[in-house]
Each structure stands twice: as C-alpha cells, then as structure tokens.
Structure 1
Amino acid sequence: MKKGSIKDSPRLEDVAQRAGVSISTASKALHDNPRVSLKTRQLVQRVAQELSYAPNALAQSLVTGLSGTVGLITSDMSGRFCTQIMMGAENVLGSRSMSVLLTNARADPTLEAMHVRKLLSLKVDGLILMGRETDPRPSLSNDIPVPVTYAYAPSEDPNDASVTCDNVGAGRMAVEHLISCGRSRIAIIGGDPSFTAATDRTQGSLEALEEAGLEPVGPIRYGTWHGSWGRGATRLLLDQKLDFDAIICQNDQIARGCIDVLKERGLRIPEDVAVIGHDNWTDVVDVARPSLTDIDNCAVDIGRRAAEMLLDAINGKPHHGIELLDCKLIQRESTVPLG
C-alpha cells in the first residue's frame, strides 16, 4: 500500500494513544466538548495536528452517537433577516465541523412539521427554527428527541431556548440618541400594531421619554410597515401644525416615506427635523438622502447565539427562556447633532 493511503492515514485510536486518553475522550476533545478539561482538549488537538489527523465522520458518529449535522428550518428564505441569521449560525457550527441542513417552511406549519420529521429521520443532532418576525410562535412538540433552539421568533413555551432582538431596548435607544443630538420634540410613527415589534419599540421609546421628562409630540399613530404609511403619517403631523424637531420611524420603509414628505414640504434633514429608522435594511439605507441613521437588529449575532445555545444543549447544558440581544445604533447623516 502506498504512503498516504487510507491504511496509512492516522486514526482516532492513534490520536488517543499518543495523547494518553480514551477514544471517547479524544473524540469529545476534538469537538471542543466542555465536559473535557481545557488542558486535555488542547493536548488532544495538538496531537491531532501533529499527526495530520482528519476525522472520519462515520467513525465519530459511532463513538459519540452524534451525526455532526444540524437542521435549520426558516419560515422565510427571502426575508431580510433570514440570510444574516443563517450566516451567524453557520459560522459557529462550521467552526465545530458541523454541517447544516437547510429547509424552508414558508411560514406553513404543515410544511414545517414535514421538514422536522425529515430532518429527524436524517439523525440531526439538533434543530434551529428561524422565524420571520419577532412575534412569539407555538413550540414544537415536547416529544422532539433532539434539542431545539428558536431564533428571532421566540417560542411561547418558557422552557424552550429562544433568542431574539431587544425591541424595547431599541425603542429606548432611538429616543436617547435623539436627545443626545439636542432634540426634545420627538414624534413617533408606529408600524403595524399587530406585530410585537411595533408595540415593544413604542414601549421603549415612551419609557425613555418619560425618564427625560418629555412626552411624544402628537398621538402615536400605527399603520403598516410600508413607505406609503410613512408618507401619510408625516403629512398628518405637518398638516396638524405640530411642533417637532425629530421623528422616530419604526422601520426603514416608513422612514423613507417620511423623508420624502419632509423634503417635499421644504424641510431640511437633519437641520429642521432629525429622522431615525429601524432594521438597517440596505435596500432602503443605500438610497436614502441624506443617509439614514438606523437601528440594526444584529441578526448575525442572533444566529450565532442560537447556534451556541444549541451546541450547549447537545452537550448536556440546555438553556431555557428568551434571551434578548441588544440592537445597535448606526449613526448617519439624518441625525447629526445640533450646533
């Protein structure tokens, strides 16, 4: 047999023998399993590198009982956050040499259930379910034999592990930023009130205004997530002769419509009115003039954290409840400070 053939390739047994550990411990160490001490993990990984050991997926599965695959089910493949969440999850899972099997349920519970059954038949080690909105969703059956993590749309069951963005904190962040820019007469254009994102963002904004001794200018009106609503709501603010120097728009389409009307009426942004959006959607942000200050949901971080939580559960350390990740404010031209 020639050198470099399968027969001469280093095996997991060779790594374990050289490191002085059992085959099971060597396998867990190569998967960075926290149940194995850091010192042992580093030793095994160093030995594997010295031997140029390449793990055999089938052999590892027989030793660990794990397939090295994770099922990822999205409800909206074309959604603006879906790709970012997937990237975050794959970055973490790929660094652990785990493969991702992706399916699209298209927000159809029947289709989702079919995908779950199919993925379980393929012996995945766990599932990540990605929602299209931050509204809570029904939990999968408690009979699911592998760990499940919910990303973006949290599970209604507090015993499940979920991760999403902090929309209340985002609403607060918008007000605090505008105040820091010297604004004190702040109006709010809400999105669709049937979505928790809209009501949560309003809650955070109202809390921050109250703490600053301020009230929103005019009534907080809700409508849709579309630019047409941003235009209509802004016209109402102007036609009612309300005195405002800043507007919080609960998503970027609303902000774009708002900016269009302000410019039509001869108002300068940000000199006369500062405008802030939410979602940091490049399709809107890239064409906005002036460039739009925005709040980013940090969807990549949500995917990363969902994968980390799933790996913890696979390794016997499950998470419970909803973990909220901070959003991030991105300063651009539409809210340049006064003075």
Structure 2
Amino acid sequence: MKSVTLKDVARVSGVSVPTVSRVLNGGGHVSEETRRRIHQAAEQLDFRPNALAQSFALGRSFTVGVLAQKASGNFSAPVITGIIDELSTRDIAVLVYDDEDDPHARPQNLRTLQARKVDGIIVVGDGTDTPFPSISSLFHTPVVHAFGVSDSPRDTCLLPDDRKAGRLVAEHLLAQGRERIAHVTAMPHSRAVQDRLAGFTARLDEEGRTLVLPPLFGDWTTPWGYRAGHELADRAGEFDAVFCANDYIAIGMARALERRGLRVPDDVALVGYDNWSKYSGSPDRFLTSVDPHLEVLGRSAALSLLGTTRDAGIVLQDCELVPGVSSGALSPEEWEWASVR
C-alpha cells in the first residue's frame, strides 16, 4: 500500500506542501479555517509523518529518556507505564535506562542519554527517602523527577501526597466508628513515614482524638507487620483500628491478629497503603488501602516535561482511599462478589 505523503494532504486541503508541513508541526501563520482543513485532510487520509524527517526539520529527536533507579521496582514499574502510555499518544518514543539499583551504573547511563540527544528526561525513583544528585546541569533539555527527589530545590519532583493519604485514613476510620486507633509503620527517618503519620495525627487532632499507643516503627515488610501484630495483640482491648503504613505491613498484621483470636474487621479495623491488589490481576477488595495512583503520577510527569513551564520543588499528586472488607467498609458478601466478577 502506497504511503500517504505531505503532497497528498496538500492536494486534499488545497494548500501548498510547505504550509501543510508547518501546520502539522505546530506552526504556520494561517487562518483557523485553513488549519482545520489541513488537520481534517490528514485525518481523512490517515497521514503518518515520517518521524526521522520531522525530527531533522524541527531539530528534535521525538524521544524522551527515562532514567530509572530500578525499572522493575514495585513503585517504578507503574510510574514508567504511565509515562509510556502518555507519551505514546503523542508519537514520542521512550528510551528507558535502568540503574538496576546500582549507583555505579548511573554515570554510563547519563553518558548514553547525552549521546542520544533526547528531548527531555524523566528520572524515576523507587522511593522518596534518598535524594539523587541533580542532573539538570548536564543537559540542555528539561528534566523532571517522578517518585523520587532531587537534591536541587530548582528541580521539579512529582510525589504522592502522603499527608493527604494519612488524613484520608483518619477520616475513614473515624467514620467507621473507630475511636481507639494505633499506627504501625516503617523507619522513622523515612519521608513517606513522616508525611503519612503527620497527616494522620493532624486529622485525628482536628477531631479531638489521638493515637492510643505510640507508633510502632519497623520496616516495610510483611514479617514486620506480623511481629507488630503479635505485639499489639498483647494489648488487645486497648485499640480497635490500625493504620498500617503499607499493604505488606497490613497483610502481616491481619495474619497475626487473627492467629491471636482477634477478628478483622469485627474486633480490629485495618487500613493499608499502596492498593497493590489492583496489580495482582484479581479484584481482591479485602484490604482497605490508599491508592497513590502511580500510573497517573507517571502521566503527570510526562505532561510536566512537555509543558512550557514547570513548578520548581515538590509537586504533590492526588491519592484515593479504596474501601475494602478490612475496615468494615465492605461486607464479606460484597468482597466475595467483587472477587468473582
């Protein structure tokens, strides 16, 4: 099948080839009617511009580099998926360079990106606790960080709004009638830990409530949740709800509590963070959890990169509480129905 050319679009729209080229590349001083006619002709003919010729004409590569701390990481993967989905709709190719959590790999990846002359770079982290050295001075193209922070306050860094997440959990548990609430979390120096805790306790304070026990600090794993669950079970009756800083902790917590004879959610309501069930391929609605919408964060990072201006510093992205059985928001019957649909 013969490919459609600029000449074909020009013939159908009744203008010159240079005019078609300028308009389809986003320029051209023409009337809105002419612009509409050219785009209509291109759509009618299913015109696909030659990317190589277009890039030479505009001095652009139509590629964006993604520099990932760990591309296969739990957090990196959905962010990168969102970036690719957004840029692909704009015919922009994505080149992913993976540090594989090895800091020694980054210099080579940076040299490769410089050689490729990409139109922009999105640095994707696998967490927000350790700032990365800024790379903006190494490139003449824009740089945006997603789910990771730069050590430069001038860089744009998109992160989930963890303070809002904590507030959402507090509001939800209070609305469920829970008044004696505990918190099990990870390392105290973690940015995510501090932000989720700050939002959570601030919202409780607004309602005249406080945590009934000091927060339990550990790590992000299911075994830690299990150990903390046994520790809390020794004080059964002092608490009726637990906000767990992530879903892994919440899963371990649920196992320990039920092993000690405490029913979830009848005796103890649980809420986690991450909403990992949506990545499992099964619509499991057992665990109430906060969804940071990492794929949306990736899309937002792509749009920020393509924008003409970017906000310096931390740019917070919205999150959502997804109700489940573990907090009493869904009945077991609703959970079973959701799981088989």
TM-score when normalising by structure 1? 0.87
Among 71, 75, 78, which residue is 1:77 paired with?
Answer: 71
Whole-angstrom distance in 1 between the partners of 2:2 and 2:328? 65
Residue of 18, 22, 25 corresponding to 2:22: 25
Judge conservation of contact 1:15–1:51 (CA < 8 Å) in 2: no
From 268, 273, 283, give the equivalent of 2:268.
Answer: 273
Q: In the superposition, relative to structure 1, how do residues 268 and 259 fare at CA in structure 2: closer, same or farther (>3 Å)? A: same
Where in structure 2 are the equivalents of 1:21-100 lying within 5 Å? 22=19, 25-29=22-26, 42-100=36-94
Residue pair 2:274, 2:291 contacting (<8 A) in 1 also: yes
Instruction: Kindly indicate whether structure 1 or structure 2 has the higher relative contact order, using CA contacts under 8 Å at least 6 residues apart.
Output: 1
Question: Which letter maps to 2:180?
Answer: R
**Counterpart residue number, 1:177:** 172
- Cα distance in structure 2, aligned partners of 1:290 and 1:143: 46
Contact 1:15-1:53 at 8 Å conserved across structures: no
CA contact (8 A) 1:251 1:278 kept: yes
Taking the aligned partners of 2:289 and 2:98, their CA distance within structure 1 comes to: 29
Tell me if 1:322 matches 2:317.
no
Aligned AA for 1:323? V
Unaligned runs of 5+ in 2: 332-341
Deviations 1:148-205 (A, max 9, x none): 1111112232221221101111111111111111111110001122321111111111
- Equivalent residues of 2:143, 2:305 under 8 A apart: yes
Equivalent residues of 1:28, 1:36 under 8 A apart:
no
CA contact (8 A) 1:74 1:103 kept: yes
The corresponding residue for 2:336 is none
Deviation at 1:37, TM superposition (A): 9.4
Shift of 1:325: 0.7
Cα distance in 2, alignment partners of residues 38 and 194 from structure 1: 56
Q: Aligned partner of 1:25: which letter? A: R
**Alpha-carbon distance in 2 for matches of 1:267, 1:290:** 20
5+ unaligned residues in a row in structure 1: which ranges? none
* Offset, 1:140: 1.1
Q: Which amino acid aligns with 2:251?
A: R
Query: What is the deviation of 1:59?
Result: 1.5
Q: 1:306 aligns with which of 280, 301, 304?
A: 301
| Pick aligned residue for 2:143 from 148, 151, 160 | 148
Q: 2:229 aligns with which of 224, 231, 234?
A: 234
- Tell me how far 1:41 sits from its aligned partner: 5.7
Alignment partner for residue 134 of structure 1, among 128, 140, 148? Answer: 128
In structure 2, which of residues 187, 206, 210 is the aligned counterpart of residue 215 of structure 1? 210
Tell me the equivalent position of 1:261: 256
Return the letter of the residue paired with 1:237: L
Give deviations 1:11-36, integer Å, cap 9, x for gaps: 2795497456735632333xxx8x99
Q: Counterpart in 2 of 1:335?
A: 327
Q: Distance in 2 between matches of 1:281 and 1:108?
A: 25
Q: Distance in 2 between matches of 1:102 and 1:247?
A: 39
Distance of 1:248 and 1:332 partners within structure 2: 14
Distance 1:161 1:133 in 2: 16
CA–CA distance in structure 1, aligned partners of residues 232 and 15 of structure 2: 72
Report how many aligned residue pairs link the two structures.
327
Task: Tell me, yes or no, if the aligned pair for 1:230 and 1:258 is still in contact at 8 Å.
Answer: yes
Q: 1:116 aligns with which of 87, 110, 123?
A: 110
Contact 1:218/1:242 (<8 A) preserved: no
- Percent identical: 36
